[in-house]
Amino acid sequence: MRPTITASCLFAVTVILLPRPTQSKEDANEWWKHAVFYEIYPRSFADSDDDGVGDLKGIESKLPYLRSLGVDAMWIAPCFPSPQVDFGYDVSNYEDIAPIYGTLADFDRLVSRGKQAGLGVILDFVVNHTSDHHPWFLDSRSSPDAQHRDWYVWQDGRSPRQPPNNWVSLFGGSAWMYDAQTAQYYYHYFYPQQPDLNWRNPAVEAAMLDVTRWWYRRGVVGFRLDAVDTIFESSSLTDNPVLSGLNKLGDLIELEKYNRRDPQNHKVLQRLRRVADEFGAVLIGETWTEDIQSLKQYYGDRDDELQLPMNFLFATVNRLSPPAFRAQIAAAQETGKWPVYLLGNHDMVRSYDRYGDRSHDDAIAKLMAVFYLTLRGTPILYYGDEIGMQNNDPKRREDVKDPIGFRGWPKEKGRDGERTPMQWTEAENAGFTQGRPWLPVPPSYRRHNVETESRDPASILSVYRNVIALRRSTPALHDGRYEAINKEDPHVLSYLRISGDDVVMVALNMSSTRRSMRPDFREQGLGPFRLKPLLATQGASATGSTMVLPPFSALIVHVVGNP
Ligand code: GLC
Ligand code: MG
């Protein structure tokens, strides 16, 4: 093994920037493999007009920030016209921008400015349902003979005042809503204001595929596909098996055998992919699965479905357990597909709270950053995780904005807590707005904000910036293979990334005790070596071939030949 060329002097979390590794042709088509994605919840990112709700101009004003963070593409949660019952996931017009967020002209400018800054725009495509205010649904419900009647899922009741079957909505109550005008029920897996589209109807499919073309032509580089496991329901309408107990919303707990994960969903993904391929676009999927085999299916048997199905099995390990994480990474590796790692999103309690132990939260946030950003695969960041934003659940029922939080209070507080405004500065409302923010900012913003953390070379934000920069500049982290090492260690999770002669080791101390280790690479056939630190948190260090890892610290080193 030859020594690699890196600069030598190193501070706490300092990195040395090398030129980007050159990309092959194949690489260029698959830019998304080496990209870092960033999810923006547009209501909460930056408010340019001080109405308390974020907007597209706000996002545009933060392009320099996104660039300095080092991300390549932003996935913007739905910003289309919508009654905002589910904060945009109830779309009333797929081909426009909601006035609270701006105009199509603002969108076009965001796309072109983004492009200049090297940042692609990914939109969120809500495929399963529309808003009940969408003109398709308004027509559909107007009469049994309406042109769009069959665009949604209409059924007679089982008997008078009895829904067609026992299916329960994820957001509470029966998944069937009676509509007096035509005396039938329509199906809604989510809120009643989100009627499910009937994808069995070819006209629905044609219209929806056209929506994607419309946006690709406007310069969108891909879509995140919402709720892809709910597109089809069994036409038999068989009752779901009922398990024991009630869920947080007070409903029967069902095995969603007949209304979720229908094999036909894959056909829709294949068709969406064909269109995406015409435009060289990427499809990311909201792919909640029970196991890795079902996740693998979302890539398509012929790699003809999603390029980037999100791995929620990894995202929901929810404890600092090296064996549990090792198993998830190994399973993802064994699929032979390109992994997609994330820690959280707008539907999940913030990773800061899920992994924190209330006394080492910042250290743990840095550890987790080093972790998912150094794995082989594409990472997706959730806005605010890079500054250690904390969940801020509503304290009183009357403050809840997310309807499931009203319904399920106090057991289910809804998703407001993970959707609070981005914390930019130490100023009031964390500099998000001069108005009244639609959700309150937690007091911790005084410490956790972009301005303050940018000044601190050891902050969570600095760790994110430095690891992302290292991913680009270090061939092994950029596209090296993954190899687990010290597989029995219950405290320290460690692995190698290897690209030709470039060998990087990552060590993550997931315990509250100081660990030291002398890694040995005989199994990898490596001769004598020494460890050269590239990035360290919490004072982790390496001398010669020994590493010292304080509690919850992370260390990235080059493994350099020692002739
Ligand atoms: C997805 C979204 C979630 C939304 C739901 C219905 O799960 O991430 O926020 O409520 O779909 O569209
Ligand atoms: Mg605004």
Mutate to test the pocket of ligand 1, among 80, 122, 190 (most ligand atoms within 8 A of CB): 190
First vs last C-alpha separation in the chain: 9
CB 391 within 8 A of CB 418: yes
348 CB within 6 A, ligand 1: no
Residue of 106, 196, 226, 305 marked active site:
226
CA of 102 to the centre of ligand 1 (A): 22
State pLDDT tens for residues 475-522.
Answer: 999 999 999 999 999 999 999 999 999 999 999 999 999 999 999 898
* Placement of tokens 């036409």 in the chain: 235
308 CB within 6 A, ligand 1: no
Residue of 156, 210, 277, 278 marked active site:
278
Strand partners, 529: 561
Active site residue 520: no
549 CB within 6 A, ligand 1: no
Give pairs for 513-517: CB < 8 Å, separation 24+.
513/551, 514/548, 514/549, 514/550, 514/551, 515/491, 515/548, 515/549, 516/546, 516/547, 516/548, 516/549, 517/486, 517/489, 517/492, 517/546, 517/547, 517/549
State pLDDT tens for residues 334-344.
Answer: 999 999 999 99
Mutate to test the pocket of ligand 1, among 226, 231, 289, 415 (most ligand atoms within 8 A of CB): 226
Distance separating alpha carbons of residues 45 and 424, to the nearest angstrom: 9
Give the pLDDT score at 197: 98
Distance separating alpha carbons of residues 332 and 308, to the nearest angstrom: 12
Q: How confident is the model at residue 26 (pLDDT cuts 50, 70, 90)?
A: low
Give the pLDDT score at 379: 98
Whether 136 has a pLDDT exceeding 70, the answer reads yes
CB 170 within 8 A of CB 203: no
Give the pLDDT score at 27: 59
CB 471 within 8 A of CB 366: no
What radius of gyration do the chain's Cα atoms show? 24
Number of residues written out for the chain: 563
Q: Report residue 535: phi and psi, to 5°.
A: -160, 135
Strand partners, 121: 74
Give the pLDDT score at 193: 98
Report which protein residue has its CA nearest ligand 1's atom 7. Answer: 227
State pLDDT tens for residues 423-437.
Answer: 999 999 999 999 999
Active site residue 226: yes
Give the pLDDT score at 525: 86
Query: How many other C-beta atoms can be found within 10 angstroms of the C-beta atom of residue 213?
Result: 13
HSE-CB for 86 with a 13 A CA cutoff: 26
Q: Write the CA distances from 540 to 9, 18, 357, 515, 537, integer angstroms.
A: 15, 23, 20, 10, 6
227 CB within 6 A, ligand 1: yes
Six token digits for residue 26 = 């194949």
- For residue 438, the ligand closest to its alpha carbon is 2
Share of the chain above pLDDT 70, in %: 95
- For residue 100, the ligand closest to its alpha carbon is 2
Distance separating alpha carbons of residues 531 and 519, to the nearest angstrom: 10
pLDDT, average across residues 187-211: 98
Q: How confident is the model at residue 10 (pLDDT cuts 50, 70, 90)?
A: very low
CB 175 within 8 A of CB 259: yes
- For residue 437, the ligand closest to its alpha carbon is 2
Q: How confident is the model at residue 29 (pLDDT cuts 50, 70, 90)?
A: confident
Tell me the whole-structure pTM to 2 decimals.
0.95
Distance separating alpha carbons of residues 260 and 256, to the nearest angstrom: 6
228 CB within 6 A, ligand 1: no
Give the pLDDT score at 527: 86
Residue in 545, 542, 541 with CA at minimum distance from that of residue 562: 545
